[in-house]
Structure 1
Amino acid sequence: MKLNNTLACVAAIACLFAGSALATDKSWFPVDVESWNPPFDMNSARTTVQYTPTGKPAAPLNICVSVPHMKDAYWVAVDYGVTQEAKRQSVQMTVLEAGGYTNLAKQISQIEDCVASGAQAVILGAISADGLNNLIKELSSQGIPVIDFMNGVTSKDVAAKSLVSFREMGAGAGTYIARKHPTGSGKVKVAWFPGPAGAGWVEAGNQGFLKAVDGSDVDVVDTRYGDTGKEVQLKLVEDALQANSDLTYIVGTAPTAEAAIEVLKQRGLTDKVKVISYYITPSIYEGIVKKEILAAPSDLAVIQARIAVDQAIRILEDKDYIRHAGPKLAVVDQENAASFDLYSSVAPADFKPVFTVE
C-alpha cells in the first residue's frame, strides 16, 4: 500500500510539472466555502455554503489587484487565480506587486495610480494589517470597493473579504506537532518562522501556532520574523541552527521550509531536524511527497483569489454576494498528498506571472 501511495504521489508531481492542461480544463466551482456572520470578524459564527460564481458581467469592468510581491510561489498562485478568473469572466485587470513587505508606501502609491487610471474596484493583498486603512476609507468614500484577500486588514471599510483564518493555518501546523508530542511524552524544541513582522496574516498565524502547541511538550525556543524572500529566510534558518544545536523542528513559511531543506542537507541534519510549512506551494507539496517535509496546511490560495474577483464583479454589478467567504482549510501530509486537489492551491509549473488582462 505504501508503494502504491508513493507512486500515486510521484504521478501527481509529474502532472504538476507537465503543464497546465489539467488546471485550465477543470472547473473550479462549485466549491464549499465558509461564510462568517457577522462578516470581517474571524471570531464570528460561520456556516458552510456552496460557492458558484456569477456569469460574465454585462458591461466592461476594470479591476486593480495589489499584492506584496511575486517572490515566491504562493503569490504566483494568487496571480494565477485572479488573472485566470479575469480571463474567464472577460474582465480587464491590472496586477501590481510592491516588491516586498517593507514597501508599504509603494503599495499605497501603486493603488492610487491604478485607481486614477480607471480601476473600478481594488482587490487588496495588504502588506500591513492597518497601514492601508486610510487609503481603504478614502477609496470607499469615492465609491471604489476594496476586497480584502489573502492577508487581511483591520479596516471595516472594505466591501468584502475573500479570506481564511491564518490563525487556523498556524494552528494547523501547531496541532500537527502537538499531537505527536503530548504532555509527558518528552520535550522537543522548535524554531518558528512566522513571516514578516506586522503583516496581518503573520500575526494571526503566530497566535494560532503558539496557542496550538501550548500545553504540549512542544517548546518554541526561537522565533524569527523576516520577509518571505528565500535569501532572507535562508539566513534566518542558518542563524537559528547556529543558536540552537538541539532543535527537533523547523516550522514556518514556505520559503522557510525550502531554505531549511537545503541547510539541513548541507549540515547533515536531515534525519535530526524535521520541517513543516504552514502553507503550501509546489515546492512544499513536492517536499511532502519526497518525505523532506512532514506536512503543510493549505488555504486554497487559488480559490481565494478567484472568489475575490467574483466578489468584485458582483459588487460592481450590484448583485448579491457573500461579504466574507473563505475556502475550508486542508492539511496535506505524506499520507494524503496523492488525493489532494493541487490546483486549488498552486499554479501550474508552466505558468508565468501575468500583470495585465485586457
Structure 2
Amino acid sequence: MNRSSLRVSLLVSSLMATATMWHGTASAADWFPYKAESTEPAFAADGKKSPIDYKPLAKASKKWDICVSFPHMKDAYWLGVDYGVIEEAKRQGVKLQVADAGGYTNLSKQVSQIEDCVSRGANAVIIGAISGDGLNNVIKATAAKKVPVIDLVNGINSPDISAKSLVSFYTMGQSTGEYLAKKHPAGSPSVKVGWFPGPAGASWVEAANKGFMDAVKGSAVVVLDPKYGDTGKEVQSKLVEDALQANPDLSYVAGTAVTAEAATGVLRSRNLDKKVKVLSFYMTPGVYEGIQKGRIVASPADSMVIQGRIAVDQAVRLLEGKEVTKHVGPKIFVVDSANIKTVKLDDILPPASFKPVFEVK
C-alpha cells in the first residue's frame, strides 16, 4: 500500500469510528469518569453531598445474573435508563433481564415481577420503584435471601436496600422552580403556573413537588393546585387541556417530561404556544428537541443513562465484595437555549435509534 492509499485508508477508518461513536455503540468505554455526587451517610435524607468522579469496574469477575424492574417504558425517560443498564451489562460482561410493570398503577405487578426475579435465581435486583413504600415487604424478603437490592432513579424508603443510584428529585423540582423564580422575582407582575408533578404517591413525584414549591416561595410565581396523573401522554394532555380551559390567564405549564411534550402539541393546536411557556423538571429526547426548537424553555438534566450504568456497577461491586459508593447520582444541571449547544448529548440521552431491550445474555 502506498502512502496516499494509506492516508485514505486511515481517514476512512477514522470517519467510521467517529460515526460509530456518534450512534452510541463504541462509546460504552468512554462514559467515565463521570461528574457525580455521593451522599454521606448513605440513604440519609439530609446527608451531605460531595462531588466525585465516578469510575466503574473494568469488568465483572463472572457472568452474574442481574434482574431489573422498571415501572414502565411508556416514555423516553425509561428508555434512556434501559439503554444505560443494557450497555453497562454488556460492557461488564453480565447477564441482565428487564421487566416492565406497565405503569404507576400496577404496583402488584411490579411486586410479582420482583418475586419472579428472585425465584428464578437472580443474583441482584435493580428497581425503578412504582411506590416509595409499597415494595417494602418484597424488598425485605429479597434482602433476607442475601440478594442485593439497588434503588434506581425513583427512590425507595425501605431500610433493606443495598445501594442507591439516583439524583434528588427535590433538587430537580427545585431547579425548575428556581429558574422560574429568577425570571419572576418578588415585586414583578405575578404569573400563573399550571403544575403537573406526575403520579400521586411516587416518591420522586412528592420530592419534586416539594422542591418546586419551596423554590417559588416569595417570588411572583403563583402555582395552581398540583394536578397528579400517570406519565402517559393521553393522561397528561387531558390534564393540561383542563387547566387551560379553567385558567385562560395561564402563563406557564411545568411538570414531567411527558407533560411538557404533550403540552407543546396542545398549545400549538389552540394557538397558545406564543402565550403559554413550557418547562420540564427532567430531560428526555422530546424535551431536548423542544428546547432546541424553542417550544420548551428549560429542563434540568439528571443523566438517566448514567444512573442506569451506575446501578449495574453497584450491583456487580456488591456481589463481588468490592468497594461501592452506596448512594450516588450524576450532577444535575439545567439545560436551556443558552447552553444546549455545549451539552454532551450521549451523557444525558440514549441514541435516537435505540429501541427497548429486555435482555443481555
Q: Same fold (TM over 0.5)?
A: yes
In 1: Cα distance, 2:50 partner to 2:20 partner? 36
Counterpart of 1:41 in structure 2 is 44
Corresponding position of 2:106: 103
Aligned sequence identity (%): 59
Q: 1:19 to 1:220 in 2, by over 3 A?
A: farther
Any unmatched runs of 5+ in structure 1? 1-17
**What's 2:89 paired with?**
86
Shift of 1:21: 3.7
Cα deviation code 1:261-282 (max 9, x no counterpart): 0111111111110000110111
User: Which runs of at least 4 in structure 1 moved beyond 2 Å after TM superposition?
Assistant: 18-26
Quick check: 1:50 aligned with 2:24? no
Distance 1:21 1:257, change over 3 A: same
Quick one: which amino acid aligns to residue 339 of structure 1? T
- Please name the residue that 2:128 is paired with: 125
Deviation of the 1:83 alpha carbon: 0.3
Q: Does structure 1 conserve the Cα–Cα contact (< 8 Å) formed by 2:62 and 2:94?
A: no
| SS of equivalent residue, structure 2 residue 103 | coil
Rounded to whole Å, the distance in 2 between the matches of 1:149 and 1:41 is: 16
Distance 2:49 2:281 in 1: 22
Q: What is the rounded CA distance, in whole Å, between the counterparts of 1:93 and 1:63 in structure 2?
A: 5
Matches within 5 A, 1:200-219: 200-219=203-222
2:224 aligned with 1:221:
yes
Pick which of 52-61 and 186-195 moved more: 52-61
Name the counterpart of 2:164: 161
In the alignment, is the contact (CA less than 8 A) between 1:42 and 1:165 conserved in 2? no
CA RMSD of aligned residues (A): 1.1
Matching residue's letter, 1:25: A
SS state at 1:23 partner: coil
How far apart in 2 are the matches of 1:337 and 1:114? 40
Number of paired residues?
A: 341
d(CA) in 1 for partners of 2:159, 2:135:
12
Q: 1:299 & 1:306 partners in 2: Cα distance?
A: 13
Cα shift at 1:67: 0.5
Equivalent residue for 1:335, pick from 330, 335, 338: 338
Match in the other structure for 1:25: 26
Partners of 1:24 and 1:48 in 2: how far apart? 28
Partner of 1:351: 354
Q: 2:296 aligns with which of 290, 293, 298?
A: 293
Residue number in structure 2 paired with 1:8: none
Question: Tell me, which stretches of 5 or more residues in structure 2 are unaligned?
Answer: 1-18
- State whether residues 19 and 348 of structure 1, in contact with CA within 8 Å, keep that contact through their aligned partners in structure 2: no
Tell me the equivalent position of 2:271: 268
Distance in 2 separating the partners of 1:280 and 1:345: 8
* Alignment TM-score, normalising by the size of structure 2: 0.93
